[in-house]
């Protein structure tokens, strides 16, 4: 393990300790798999890789552990929140804020976000859509 990875693994253990989570072999394997790829794998993909190392690991453990990592900030969900699909017929330029408590999605509009700069790194792709999106606690939920 190189210095970077060792350090990342140390931070992972710190995060577990802070949240009173035990450092189990399953969690270690799952974290190793997730932190050594840039392909943003699904739970199923992580499960398949984990079984090569730990043949009896269950899908439930992998899925639950990934959610746990997400809860403690050791990882995050980049696609598909697990929530249901939600639709919008408002085609005018606007952006969204989502409350993580009540799941309300609130429209707002800030012109600069309608056409954000397209970084040079992305030039080799055909960009169809850009999105600026905020998440947090809404005014109503703050009062509770």
Partner DNA sequence: GTACTATATAGTAGTTAATACTATTTAGCA
Partner DNA sequence: TGCTAAATAGTATTAACTACTATATAGTAC
Site for a second copy in 28-57 (CB under 8 A): 31, 34-35, 38-44, 46
Taking CB under 7 A as the rule, does residue 58 contact DNA?
A: yes
> Among 14, 44, 71, 114, which residue interacts with DNA (rule: CB under 7 A)?
44
When asked if residue 88 is in the footprint of DNA (CB under 7 A), the reply is: no
Q: Taking the mean position of all CA atoms in its chain, how far away is CA 106? A: 21
Under rule CB under 5 A, residue 121 binds Mn ion: no
59 binds a second copy (CB under 8 A): no
Q: Does 90 bind DNA (CB under 7 A)?
A: no
End-to-end CA gap in the chain: 46
Q: Which two tokens stand for residue 63?
A: 């899925």
CB 76 within 8 A of CB 115: no
Q: Which of 71, 66, 74 lies closest to 26 in space, CA to CA?
A: 66
b/e sequence 108-125, b meaning 16+ C-beta within 10 Å: eeeeebeeeeeeeeeeee
Site string for Mn ion, 86-105 (x = CB under 5 A): --x-x---------------
- Which chain residues interact with a second copy by CB under 8 A? 31, 34-35, 38-44, 46, 66, 69-70, 73-91, 96-100, 104-105, 107-110, 112-113, 116-119, 121-122, 124-139, 142
């Amino acid at each position: 393990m190189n210095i970077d990875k060792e350090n990342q693994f140390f931070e992972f253990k710190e995060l577990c300790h802070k949240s009173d989570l035990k450092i189990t072999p399953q969690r270690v394997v799952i974290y190793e798999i997730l932190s050594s790829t840039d392909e943003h794998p699904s739970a199923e993909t992580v499960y398949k890789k984990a079984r090569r190392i730990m043949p009896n690991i269950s899908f439930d453990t992998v899925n639950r552990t990934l959610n746990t990592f997400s809860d403690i900030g050791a990882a995050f969900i980049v696609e598909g929140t697990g929530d249901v699909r939600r639709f919008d017929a408002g085609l005018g330029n606007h952006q969204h804020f989502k409350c993580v408590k009540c799941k309300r999605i609130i429209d707002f509009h800030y012109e600069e976000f309608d056409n954000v700069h397209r970084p040079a790194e992305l030039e080799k792709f055909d960009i169809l859509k850009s999105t600026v999106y905020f998440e947090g606690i809404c005014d109503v939920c703050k009062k509770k």
